[in-house]
Amino acid sequence: MLGWGRRCRRLKERRSPSELEALWKEDDMAGGEKVRAMVMIMRTSGCCWVRSGGCTMCGYREASLRDVSEEDLRKQLAQALSKYKGEPFVKIYTSGSFLDDNEVPPAVRAEIYSAFSGCARLLFESRPEFITEDSAGEIPGNATVALGLESSDPEVLAAAVHKGFTPDDIRRAGLLLKSRGIGVRTYLLLKTPFMTESMAIRDAVSSAMFADAFSDEISVNPLNVQHGTYVERLWKRGEFRPPWIWTLIEVFRQLSGSVHARLMSSPSGGGSQRGVHNCGSCDRAALDAVERFSFTQDPSDLEVSCQCIAKWKAYMESEDLLGSPADLDRSFENELTLRVL
């Protein structure tokens, strides 16, 4: 029998490099209005940083393929265009950096810019090292570049995320884009490894203040545990618990009215053990509140209640007292199991 890793690699080799990884439609904001957005995930050779070990929470290496030619990328574009129904917002994700010439060659990028020149908003992601005077000069005026700042604390970025750049690199890239009239969406990672819930709140709030100087939008992304990552190893050992949804809501409460950028979050895996979650019974209502707030920016939309708020507060106090970010629920469960045994 094949091991899981090898089986994954076999499945991966079978995927066609000329087909999109995924495409779907969803709501988002463009020009201050809620509009339909087309999201396309392109298969590329993947993020250059993966060759240096990648980020501790990133499982994107599974979405990339070794050999993807320019012709393959053109076929993926054609596939997307066949599904495009004039949505005002188009988001292109590559599991890496859209502005990395090795992932998306300049000629293909120019074709993509041209294909979606009529839409109000075009969004793609890039690491800051690919945002230069030259590459910024080619980015069209309808574009928004998403920057993965994660945290404005250089030590967190280096030691807990292993990001391979500094917050100042992101600030430089963001200010350059803004000076060219290009939109910036900045991603923050809520609760990096080794953080307690209260540390995560403080880190996200100060990171958003830092990002506000160069961001039109700040997307707070609660860490979700992806397969094959360092974070997954910590999580399996009970040394990491994804953040509570109350933690995310608290970040928005503290930031509401204090930043100019639009605050938003659309958590991956929300409500599951691997994603941001509460007690289980209030998760849907709390996530709906986060979604409403992301569109309205009205803090009254964050008002949700559940008995587990008291548990969340006690959880934070215990973490602070113990000085440990370990998953306390699971630690106590293990302790009880051991005692029963």
Interface ranges with ligand SF4 (CB under 6 A): 47, 49-50, 54-55, 58, 60, 96, 127, 148
Smaller CB separation from ligand SF4, 35 or 50: 50
Smaller CB separation from ligand SF4, 96 or 222: 96
Question: What is the H or E stretch that residue 10 is in?
Answer: helix 4-14
- The least CB distance from residue 185 to Zn ion, in Å, is 30
Q: Taking the CA atoms of the chain, what radius of gyration do you get in angstroms?
A: 20
174: partner contacted, choices Zn ion, ligand SF4, none (Cβ within 5-8 A by kind) = none
Which residue from 236, 164, 156 is spatially nearest to 196, judged by alpha carbons? 156
| HEC readout, 26-60 | EEEEECCEEEEEEEEECCCCCCHHHHHCCCCCCCH
127: partner contacted, choices Zn ion, ligand SF4, none (Cβ within 5-8 A by kind) = ligand SF4
Q: How far apart are CA 31 and CA 11, in angstroms?
A: 41
Neighbours of 107 (CB within 10 A): 11
The residues in 284-313 that bind Zn ion, with binding defined as CB under 5 A, are 306, 308
Applying CB under 5 A, the site for Zn ion has a residue count of 5
Residue located via tokens 């396309």: 40
Which structure tokens are listed for 262?
């639009």
Residues 224, 265, 278, 294: which binds Zn ion (CB under 5 A)? Answer: 278
- 264, 218 contact by CB (below 8 A): yes
Residues 279, 284, 318, 326: which binds Zn ion (CB under 5 A)? Answer: 279
Smaller CB separation from ligand SF4, 100 or 283: 100
49: partner contacted, choices ligand SF4, Zn ion, none (Cβ within 5-8 A by kind) = ligand SF4
50: partner contacted, choices ligand SF4, Zn ion, none (Cβ within 5-8 A by kind) = ligand SF4
Residue located via tokens 């708020």: 309
Residues 41, 282, 290, 328: which binds Zn ion (CB under 5 A)? Answer: 282
Q: How far apart are CA 90 and CA 99, in angstroms?
A: 16
Which residue from 219, 43, 35 is spatially nearest to 121, judged by alpha carbons? 35
Smaller CB separation from ligand SF4, 17 or 54: 54
- The least CB distance from residue 164 to ligand SF4, in Å, is 7
- The least CB distance from residue 263 to ligand SF4, in Å, is 21
Smaller CB separation from ligand SF4, 266 or 297: 266
308: partner contacted, choices Zn ion, ligand SF4, none (Cβ within 5-8 A by kind) = Zn ion
- The least CB distance from residue 53 to ligand SF4, in Å, is 8
- The least CB distance from residue 6 to ligand SF4, in Å, is 22
Which structure tokens are listed for 99?
């502005």
Alpha carbon 237 to chain centroid, angstroms: 24
Q: Three-class SS of residue 184?
A: strand
Which residue from 108, 112, 18, 13 is spatially nearest to 72, judged by alpha carbons? 18
54: partner contacted, choices Zn ion, ligand SF4, none (Cβ within 5-8 A by kind) = ligand SF4
**Residue ranges that bind Zn ion, judged by CB under 5 A:** 278-279, 282, 306, 308
